[in-house]
Structures are given as C-alpha cells and as structure tokens.
Amino acid sequence: MPADRGRPPPVRAPPRPDRIRRIAGGFAFVPNEFLHRGFFASLDHAERSLYFFLVLAGDRNGVSYYGHDRICAVLELTLDDYLVVRDRLIDYDLIVFDGRRFQVLSLPPTPLAPPPRPLVTQDDFDDHDPTTIQRLVRSSLDRRR
C-alpha cells in the first residue's frame, strides 16, 4: 500500500488563479477516467469530436436535442460520416440516441474494442485484408527470383 494514501494531495497553485474554471450556467464535464482508462485513445478524431460536442451540449443528465444537420455543420461532417461516427459511439456504449435525443452515458468498465471497419478502398484492402496482403507479398517475392 502506498505510504501517501492517508495524506491529502499536494496543493498546487495554478499559473493563473484569476482564471480558474467554474461551472456557471451550463453543465458539462468529462471524467478524468476518460483519459486515464484509455477511452480517449480508443476513439478516432471524429469520434472524439462528436463525443465532446455531445458532452458540451448536454444537460446535467447528459441529454441533448441537437439535430444531425446542426451537428454536421458544427463538426464539419458529412451526413454519412456523422451516421458512422454516431453509431460507433453507440456501439462503444458511450452514448444512446432514441431518434430525437442523445444521452452521454456513464463510462463503461473498459473501452470497447472498435469493430473492424469495412474495407472499401484499394488502400484498405492493401493494408488490412489478409488475402490481399498475402498476394502482394508473394508477388513481391516472385519478382525477386
């Protein structure tokens, strides 16, 4: 057991004590476990953007009513990209959407592994499809002979 368990944490003065953040009016927070337990690292840029947008837009229960058109405009996402990102956050158990309302959920015990993304472009196949990779390696080795 660490020796400092019973002691209060050290007091560290902020560089700008005149600018300490306060909750005033709205209510938004991200628990630091989001970073320390790997949720931040498990999301791509668009997923983090939508998640943080919903955190900022939500009330104290995490509920918000923003429509897809407004979200897409603010985050500069196409409708197709928005739908993919929204559904991933639902799959990761970070949010729910009932057709008109979002709710940012309490964090699950661990980040969920992202489901495999569909292979769409030739680069996707070249980089991630085992059969294509095997064919490219064989082709490269055959050229050396």
Q: What is the DSSP string of 90-128?
A: HHTTSEEE-SS-EEEPPPPSSPPPPPPPPP-SHHHHHHH
Biggest alpha carbon distance in the chain? 71
Selected from 1.20.120.420, 3.40.640.10, 3.40.50.300, 1.10.10.10, the CATH number assigned to the domain covering 25-114 reads 1.10.10.10
The full length of the chain comes to 145
- pTM score of the predicted model: 0.67
The pLDDT profile of the chain, 145 residues, written as one tens digit per residue, is 455 667 887 888 888 888 877 777 777 888 899 999 999 999 999 999 999 999 999 988 999 999 999 999 999 999 999 999 999 999 999 999 999 999 999 999 989 866 566 777 887 777 777 787 778 787 878 776 6
- CA distances from residue 89 to 48, 92, 103, 144, 145 in whole angstroms, order as listed: 9, 5, 11, 46, 48
Q: Which ranges in the chain are annotated with CATH 1.10.10.10?
A: 25-114
